């Protein structure tokens, strides 16, 4: 659906569907989706451990089922997505980011985690090689503590992120998974996490929003980080220019998260929602199509009646990141690197940005494409 029409008439598509991923790539700065290896060795896009069906649950582990069955119950393959030119053209143009989360098989499959990660990494690299993607347009994330080790041992060329806190790969109920993850959450700090992952060679960290807002951030040892004031400065100092992929991302926190240089993995992908809860306008492409001062002023001063037309005009008129002139790109990176305390000279970061947006720059990324539809 053309973006202008979607801004007037939109129905949320099923999560991780081709339609959802097309929408997220078009509307925001990119998408996040879940990846598994099925029983035929095919890469399939699906979040849960078990496929839909009537047979006993443990017989429906995705990793044990054939591709034809999975496609028959609506689970797409990665090859289907990569054959979609609208999706791949947008990805290859620069400024868009895809975050692929590797899902670990249920323990009942008895599949070794390291062997599985080695397999899925090899298959993904082979499938993506023909695309010749721009730098920093792709990252792989995973809750498994073994993701860094597996990437090194297999010679994986795609940047990886370990998601924190550690959430086990099994269990039917998301709330129960969160309860089990609480002890790990309580004993980890953002400063400790970033230091540890940096030693593993990771350029970004993935974390739950609870590390940054609300009372849970106070249960960690040491001083808390946050989205404002001294907490925000501590967040910048801990990251040292690292990217931060954070979920969830409620609209009420969106501006503060963007200001903090966060890549938001968000369920808020409704193109008809043009204002945030505080009444200020929402721009869903801070990375791939950043507003300049003129357009920012026009959108903020527009009446609610005018805003749809002005936003539509901005989408069609503003250059995408790959087409922005070098002087404006320099100003964007200089402002971000100075404000967010990126180490080293601003010139270093400006040069880095010539090949792709730095990981420490904020992005709005559609969770499972157009937002979760399963409530977890």
CA pair distance 302, 279, nearest whole angstrom = 12
Residue 204 has pLDDT above 60, yes or no: yes
Q: Which residue has the higher pLDDT, 221 or 341?
A: 341
State the residue for tokens 């998601």: 163
Q: How confident is the model at residue 179 (pLDDT cuts 50, 70, 90)?
A: low
Going by C-alpha positions, the residue among 8, 24, 12 that lies closest to residue 368 is: 24
DSSP assignment string, 199-248: HTT-SEEEEEGGGTSSGGGGGSSSPPP-SSHHHHHHHHHHHTT-EEEEE-
Domain extents for the chain? 3-367
**Phi, psi (deg, nearest 5) at residue 34:** -100, 140
pLDDT of 334: 97
Residue 230 has pLDDT above 60, yes or no: yes
Q: Which two tokens stand for residue 371?
A: 């937002």
With contact defined as beta carbons under 8 Å apart, do 20 and 368 qualify? Answer: yes
Q: Which two tokens stand for residue 369?
A: 């494409």
pLDDT of 187: 72
DSSP assignment string, 57-114: GGGGBGGGS-HHHHHHTTPPBHHHHHT-HHHHHHHHTSS-EEEEEEPPPPGGG---HH
Q: How confident is the model at residue 6 (pLDDT cuts 50, 70, 90)?
A: low
CA pair distance 211, 331, nearest whole angstrom = 30
> HEC string of 301-341?
HCCHHHHHHHHHHHHHHCCCHHHCCHHHHHHHHHHHHHHCC
Number of H helices, E strands in the chain: 15, 9
| CA 57-13-37 angle, 5° bins | 45
Q: Which tens digits make up the pLDDT trace of 246-259?
A: 999 999 999 999 99
CA pair distance 49, 72, nearest whole angstrom = 17
pLDDT of 178: 59
CA pair distance 236, 327, nearest whole angstrom = 25
Q: Which two tokens stand for residue 216?
A: 């849970």
pLDDT of 185: 65
Give the three-class secondary structure for 282.
coil
The pLDDT mean for the chain works out to 92
Class in CATH terms, 3-367 = alpha beta
**Taking the model in full, what pTM does it have?**
0.94
What b-and-e string marks burial along 136-164, b requiring 16 or more CB atoms within 10 Å of the CB? bbbbbbbbbeebbebbeebebeebbbbbb
């Amino acid at each position: 659906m053309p973006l202008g029409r979607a801004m007037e008439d939109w129905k949320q598509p099923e999560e991780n569907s081709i339609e959802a991923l097309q929408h997220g790539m078009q509307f925001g700065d990119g998408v996040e989706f879940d990846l598994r290896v099925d029983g035929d060795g095919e890469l399939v896009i699906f979040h849960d451990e078990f496929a839909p069906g009537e047979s006993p649950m443990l017989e429906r582990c995705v990793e044990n089922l054939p591709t034809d069955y999975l496609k028959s119950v609506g689970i797409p393959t990665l090859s289907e997505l990569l054959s979609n030119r609208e999706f791949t053209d947008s990805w290859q143009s620069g400024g868009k980011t895809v975050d692929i989360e590797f899902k670990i098989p249920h323990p009942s499959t008895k599949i070794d985690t390291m062997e599985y990660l080695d397999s899925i990494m090899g298959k993904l690299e082979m499938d993506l090689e023909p695309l010749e993607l721009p730098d920093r347009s792709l990252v792989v994330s995973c809750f498994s503590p073994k993701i860094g080790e597996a990437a090194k041992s297999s010679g994986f060329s795609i940047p990886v992120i370990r998601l924190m806190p550690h959430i086990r790969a099994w269990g039917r109920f998301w709330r129960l998974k969160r309860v089990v993850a609480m002890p790990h959450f309580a004993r980890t700090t953002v400063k400790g996490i970033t230091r540890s992952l940096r030693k593993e060679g990771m350029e970004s960290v993935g974390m739950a929003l609870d590390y940054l807002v609300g009372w849970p951030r106070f249960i960690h040892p040491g001083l808390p980080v946050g989205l404002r004031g001294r907490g925000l400065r501590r967040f910048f100092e801990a990251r040292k220019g690292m990217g931060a992929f954070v979920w969830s991302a409620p609209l009420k926190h969106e501006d503060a998260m963007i200001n903090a240089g966060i890549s938001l993995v968000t369920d808020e992908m409704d193109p008809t929602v043009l204002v945030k809860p505080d009444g200020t306008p929402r721009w869903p492409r801070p990375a791939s199509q950043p507003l300049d001062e003129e357009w920012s002023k026009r959108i903020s001063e527009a009446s609610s009646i005018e805003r749809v037309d002005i936003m539509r005009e901005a989408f069609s008129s503003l250059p995408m990141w790959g087409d922005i002139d070098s002087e404006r790109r320099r100003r964007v990176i200089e402002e971000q690197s100075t404000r967010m305390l990126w180490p080293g000279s601003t010139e270093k970061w400006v040069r880095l940005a010539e090949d792709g947006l730095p990981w420490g720059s904020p992005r709005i990324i559609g969770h499972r494409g157009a937002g979760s539809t399963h409530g977890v």
